[in-house]
Amino acid sequence: MSTTATPSGAEPVGTLSASGSFSGKVRHIKIVTTEATMICTGDFVKLISGGTVSRAAITTTVPTGYVGIFLGCAYTDPTTGQFTNSAYWPAANAATDAVAFVADDPFLVFRMQASAAVAETSVGLNISGVNTAGSAAIGRSRNALDGTTEATTNTLPFRILEFVHGGNDKSGDTYPTMDVTILPGKHAYLAILGV
């Protein structure tokens, strides 16, 4: 419903590669035991020292090490000893075997809601993000696109590819949903410098 602000982070829907479709393929990347920040489905993540991932705050720029979108995790609960699949990483979880499921295709296309009205003539422009802590209750990100920042500026992190119209989405919505991609050269796999 694009007349209501209900941001839920990034949802992979395709790729810029020849196939164009998102197959659901993810990479398992370790989460360090001391990771003290909650990571929710739809949050962006970055590679950090030791080959683990951490939540990435993408606002007006893409942080060094950006590697993809968090789509859940698995770990052995340190309190109960039970193997756990989760839509989010609980902050300061002491699990020693945690892995994140990351959609890490550098050419991923994903869907996000904007924080304000964006004209459809903005297709092809760049846009920044609004970084908000996710919800542990539903395990979802609360990140959105910043609907006040469309510009040609090459340092902004996202490129608007198209507007999504379906259900109640329509032209002129207060909070439109768009398909976007990370600007070329911002992904850790495409950077020359290692993480």
Q: What is the DSSP string of 71-117?
A: EEEEEE-TTT--EEEESEE-TT---SS-EEEEE--TTEEEEEEBSS-
Place of tokens 């075997």: 97
Does the pLDDT at position 139 exceed 50?
A: yes
Asked whether residue 5 is assigned to any structural domain, the reply reads no
pLDDT at 1: 43
In percent, how much of the chain has pLDDT > 70? 95
Identify whether 187 is part of a domain: no
Amino acid in position 150: E
Q: How many domains does the chain have?
A: 1
Does 121 fall in a domain?
Answer: no
Q: If you average pLDDT over residues 2-16, what whole number do you get?
A: 88
Whether 65 is in a domain gets the answer yes
Q: Give the mean model confidence (pLDDT) for residues 101-123.
A: 94
pLDDT at 192: 77
Average pLDDT for the chain: 90
For residue 142, is it within any domain?
Answer: no
Q: Is residue 41 part of a domain?
A: yes
When pLDDT is averaged across residues 29-37 and rounded to a whole number, the result is 91
- The residues facing 14 across adjacent strands are 21, 109
Mean pLDDT of 50-79: 94
Does the predicted TM-score (pTM) go above 0.85? yes
Domain that holds residue 36: 22-103
87 assigned to some structural domain: yes
| Residue 127 resides in a domain | no
